[in-house]
Amino acid sequence: MSIDSQSDPPLAAIAALARGAIVADLGADVLVKVFEDPRNLFTIAAADLPALCVHRVSEQTRRRNSTQLVNDIVVGFEYALPSTSVEARAARWPTLAAVWQSLSRAVLAGKHPAVSDGADVLTAAGVFAESESARVLQYTFVEGGRDTEPELKPRHPIFIAQIAVTHTPDEVDVASLNDFLRFHMAFDEPGKPSGGPDGVGDDDVDALINLDVILPT
C-alpha cells in the first residue's frame, strides 16, 4: 500500500463535524479551508484564510480489558484569521472565541443539530471526547503570509487548542461513518488520495472524501 494512501477516519470525522458546526453557527465566511495536518501561516495562501488545521498531537494505546485496546489521542486545533491592522484587532478578536465555542461544543457533544440531522457522528467513528480536556492553549497574533513581502510582517489572529479523545476501533459503525464522511467531509487539498476504514469496499473508499462538497448552513 502506498505511503500516501492511508486515511484517518476518527480525525476525519472530528474535522468534518467541526467544520459543519462552525459554518452552521457562524456562517461560511469564518471558515474557508480545513487541513488535516499542522501548518504555519507561511504555507497557507491568504485566499485560504480563515483556515482550521486538525491533527494528532500525541497518542497512547492502552488495554481497556482483556480483549479490547483503545487509543487516547490529543487532537490539536489551530485556527487562523486573515491579517488585520492594529485598528481592526478589537473587532476581529472575538471571532476566535466564537469559533472555539462552536467547535468545542460540537466535538464534546459528538454531534451538532445542523450536521447529519443531529446524529451522533463521533459515536459512529468510535470517538468519545473527554469533557474536561477541551482548552485553548493560546489566543494570540502571529506573523505570516506566503503571499506578502516578509518585511510587511502581517499579523494574524489565531488560537491554538486541544481536545483529548478516546478512539475505540472496535466500536466504529462502518456503514454510518462511511455515509457521514461521504456527504460531509471536505478537506481542501486537491488530488489527495482517498482511503477508508477496514471493511469498506473499493467503491465506498473512493466516495469517502468528496472535495466538492459544501456543507449546509
| Res 215 pLDDT > 90 | no
| Res 53 pLDDT > 90 | yes
**102 vs 147, higher pLDDT:** 102
Give every CB contact of residue 98 below 8 A, 6+ residues apart in sequence: 25, 26, 30
Beta bridge partners of 76: 55, 162
Query: Distance between CA 113 and CA 109 in Å, rounded?
Result: 11
Query: Distance between CA 153 and CA 6 in Å, rounded?
Result: 37
**154 pLDDT tier (thresholds 50, 70, 90):** low
**64 vs 212, higher pLDDT:** 64
* CATH 3.30.70.1700 is right for the domain spanning 9-207: yes
Identify the pLDDT of residue 145. 58
| Res 213 pLDDT > 80 | no
**3 pLDDT tier (thresholds 50, 70, 90):** confident
Lowest mean pLDDT among 1-5, 33-37, 144-148: 144-148
- Let me know: does 151 contact 78? Beta carbons within 8 Å: no
Give the max Cα distance, the chain: 59
Query: Distance between CA 129 and CA 187 in Å, rounded?
Result: 21
**195 vs 152, higher pLDDT:** 152
Mean pLDDT of 38-59: 90
Mean pLDDT of 26-41: 90
| Res 165 pLDDT > 70 | yes
Check: pTM over 0.85? Answer yes or no: no
Query: In degrees rounded to 5, what are phi and psi of residue 9?
Result: -55, -45
Identify the pLDDT of residue 204. 34
Lowest mean pLDDT among 44-58, 108-122, 191-205: 191-205
**46 pLDDT tier (thresholds 50, 70, 90):** confident
Query: Distance between CA 207 and CA 151 in Å, rounded?
Result: 44
- Which residue, among 142, 123, 112, 125, has the nearest Cα to 49 in the 3D structure? 142
Identify the pLDDT of residue 42. 80
Identify the pLDDT of residue 144. 65
56-97 residue pLDDT tens: 999 999 987 767 789 999 999 999 999 888 788 888 899 999
